[in-house]
Copies of this chain bind each other. A is one copy, B any other.
Amino acid sequence: MISFTEENYLKIIYKLSAETESEISTNAVAELTQTKAASVTDMLRKLSEKQLVSYQKYQGVRLTDKGQSFALKVIRKHRLWEVFLVDKLGFNWDEVHEIAEQLEHIKSEELVRRLDEFLGFPQYDPHGDPIPDGYGRMPELGYKNLSEIAMNEDVIMMGVAKHSANFLQYLAKIGLNLGVSVNVQEINDFDKSMTIKIGGISQSFISHEVAKNLLVKSI
């Protein structure tokens, strides 16, 4: 049996792995789990004994296939529940994260299957993140960060790489909803901030930090 806490570690290691090629450091995990490095070391040894991660001391961690499959199941549940909260219960996209953090640990394969069906087999969660399938496979999207887009190229807003309520509320305020068209009008050399046109209508000035966290696809 795999505990609530272990599931959280796996999920976090998975997310860190998605951003880097190399092994994940103890400190990086500690930061996201909101614990101390010493606690992480203990847990990594435990996960390693359970064959969920491969870990050599001082050398960082990596998920094993088994570990990744567990992580993806948790992420699948998290994202399905987010869809439920937004589509069925009418929550805003910035309100669902903490609740889904709890719901993702509910154990019942049948529940997940039925929830998926009830929601109409959604492919994306309310933030545009893809929902892994029941076999633990994550769809590849190939989205780009808005920060990599050239001036005047038309793109569509497809997702966010940052899920804090603050950030999501800010996006909602300037009209940056999923599906709207975005066009980079001007890029400032010194800080890479940019002026963008949203939905062909309104204009906004956004920082590089914001642009890096917006996922878009070319038309």
Contact = CB atoms under 8 A, between A and B. Distances in A.
Interface in A127-159: none
A80 to B, nearest CB: 12
Nearest to A106: B102
A88 B111 CA distance: 11
A103 B106 CA distance: 7
Nearest to A117: B89
A105 B106 CA distance: 10
A108 interface: yes
Closest 10 pairs (CB-CB, A-B)? A89-B114, A102-B106, A99-B108, A99-B111, A89-B118, A88-B118, A103-B106, A90-B114, A89-B115, A102-B107
20 contacts: A85-B111, A88-B118, A89-B111, A89-B114, A89-B115, A89-B118, A90-B114, A91-B110, A91-B114, A95-B110, A98-B108, A99-B106, A99-B108, A99-B111, A102-B105, A102-B106, A102-B107, A102-B108, A103-B103, A103-B106
Given A89-B114, A90-B114, 18 more contacts: A85-B111, A88-B118, A89-B111, A89-B115, A89-B118, A91-B110, A91-B114, A95-B110, A98-B108, A99-B106, A99-B108, A99-B111, A102-B105, A102-B106, A102-B107, A102-B108, A103-B103, A103-B106
Interface of A: 85, 88-91, 95, 98-99, 102-103, 105-108, 110-111, 114-115, 118
